[in-house]
Amino acid sequence: MSAPPHVVILGGGFAGLDAARTLAHAPVRVTLIDRHNYHLFQPLLYQVATAALSPGDVASPIRWILRGQQNAQVLLADVRGIDTAGRQVLLDASAGEAERVIAYDYLIVATGATHAYFGHPEWGTRAPGLKSLDDALEIRRQVLLAFEAAEREQDEAARRRLLTFVIVGGGPTGVELAGALAEIARQSLRQDFRTIHPESARIVLIEGSPHVLGAFAPHLRDAAKASLQRLGVEVRTGSVVTTVDAEGVKIGDERIAAQTVLWAAGVAASPVAKSLEVPLDKAGRVQALPTLQVPGHPEIFVAGDLCALQQNGAWLPGVAQVAKQGGAHAAKNIIRAINGQPLASFHYKDYGNMATIGRGSAVAEIGRLKVSGVIAWLMWVLIHIFWLIGFRNRVAVMSEWAWFYFTLQRRVRLITGERLWPGAA
């Protein structure tokens, strides 16, 4: 008897995980490869960065998720490249091991995206983005250290700089970060310090386009902006950051002195896409066929943030629902190919957009339903609890949100890392 076809999936995010699950009962052998041993629920990552949730609340081990799927194997590895001619995935060697290759019959590439700094990669060391748990913990560390440093600082100008936080990018991530930082300063930390007044912190949200949350309906964009302003956030739309350095940022000729700068302005596809040697768009994404296949390579599929595809004249957004549906569709097309059936084109079902601005405030756009305020926030809570993986995570997140709602306290205000202050040994 011949061996079943080998399907290799690169990436354990929303696209890769849903692809693996879709293949659970297919006559194939599945190998899922990721550089982390966990699946990350990225929509709540900002809450780890702002001390509302612990890392374990938004992540689950991939092996545990797929523990009951007998045809699936999980490998922890870094993907160095893809040999499309030899149908092999090239992995970085582990300690004491020769370079390893994994042969495939079908390949799903769902390695996601990283930060994009618009031609200024040097800004990355000064303005961390938010794509991984490590990013979230570093942001949490920087934010909390800024308040600690301000408590020790004697110079008033230096103290104002320490208590200034700049978020670049007015999409959902930037808006949610800005709202959460405002709540930390004005609510959670208000009684914790003796020398400074945390509620005096300056939080600036900078967006290059005319509106925050540009993908939402106009009245929802206005509602989100008004909610941010009620929290004390300075919303600067139509403003482009031209410099990010050790002192802060510049908008044209205007200097904003800030200790903490956070990046939520753009993404670029994973560099793994380059090894496919096919045309990429400006963000480094693969311009896939409607079936999600890579042009010229019918055995390779792309999904998630790595996939560039138009539907109804518009590019599909890089959101979790697109990734989940794309990963499952790629897997279904592999099953069709194995069975000798024609492949189907991918059609994304838009379940709507949501963003939360703070405690009891959000905007939601689901079909014809467009709401803001408490109702939208309750919808946001219920939907995110539903999509979390694992009963334990659902209970933990719900209890933390309930605690914060009634006490205004964020319990995960821990500063980790041996080096407390910049430049310290």
Query: Is the confidence at residue 123, as pLDDT, over 50?
Result: yes
Say if CB 130 and CB 46 are below 8 A apart. Answer: yes
User: Could you report the per-residue pLDDT of 137-158, keeping only the tens digit for each?
Assistant: 999 999 999 999 999 999 999 9
Q: Could you give the 3-state DSSP secondary structure of residue 314? A: strand
pLDDT at residue number 424: 47
Q: Could you give the 3-state DSSP secondary structure of residue 72? A: strand
Distance CA 29, CA 27 (A): 7
CATH 3.50.50.60 range(s) for the chain read 6-35+77-115+267-338
Say if CB 57 and CB 17 are below 8 A apart. Answer: no
Phi/psi of residue 104, nearest 5 degrees: -140, 155
Question: Does the active-site annotation cover 176?
Answer: yes
Q: Could you give the 3-state DSSP secondary structure of residue 260? A: strand
Query: Is the confidence at residue 201, as pLDDT, over 80?
Result: yes
User: Could you report the per-residue pLDDT of 358-367, keeping only the tens digit for each?
Assistant: 888 999 998 8
Across all residues in the chain, what is the average pLDDT?
A: 91
Q: Which of 15-24, 63-72, 277-286 has the lowest mean pLDDT?
A: 277-286
With DSSP H G I counted as helix, E B as strand and the rest as coil, what are the percentages for the chain, rounded to 5? Answer: 35, 25, 40
pLDDT at residue number 423: 46
Q: Which CATH class is domain 6-35+77-115+267-338?
A: alpha beta
- Say how many C-beta atoms besides its own lie within 10 A of residue 247's C-beta: 14
Query: Is the confidence at residue 407, as pLDDT, over 80?
Result: no
Query: Is the confidence at residue 284, as pLDDT, over 80?
Result: yes
Q: Who wins on pLDDT, 327 or 415?
A: 327
Confidence of residue 392 (pLDDT cuts 50, 70, 90): confident
User: Could you report the per-residue pLDDT of 226-238, keeping only the tens digit for each?
Assistant: 999 999 999 999 9
Backbone torsion region of residue 284, taken as left when φ is above 0, otherwise alpha when ψ lies between -120 and 50, otherwise beta: left
The C-alpha R_g of the chain, in whole angstroms, comes to: 22
CATH 3.50.50.100 range(s) for the chain read 121-265+352-407
User: Could you report the per-residue pLDDT of 239-274, keeping only the tens digit for each?
Assistant: 999 999 999 999 989 999 999 999 998 888 888 999
Q: Could you give the 3-state DSSP secondary structure of residue 298? A: strand
User: Could you report the per-residue pLDDT of 22-40, keeping only the tens digit for each?
Assistant: 999 999 999 999 999 999 9
Residue keyed to tokens 């909390």: 144
Q: Who wins on pLDDT, 403 or 209?
A: 209
Phi/psi of residue 331, nearest 5 degrees: -65, -40
pLDDT at residue number 419: 59
Query: Is the confidence at residue 425, as pLDDT, over 50?
Result: no
Q: Which CATH number fits domain 121-265+352-407: 3.10.20.70, 3.40.50.2300, 3.50.50.100, 2.30.30.830?
A: 3.50.50.100
Distance CA 92, CA 26 (A): 29
Residues in the chain: 425
Catalytic residue among 122, 138, 176, 234: 176
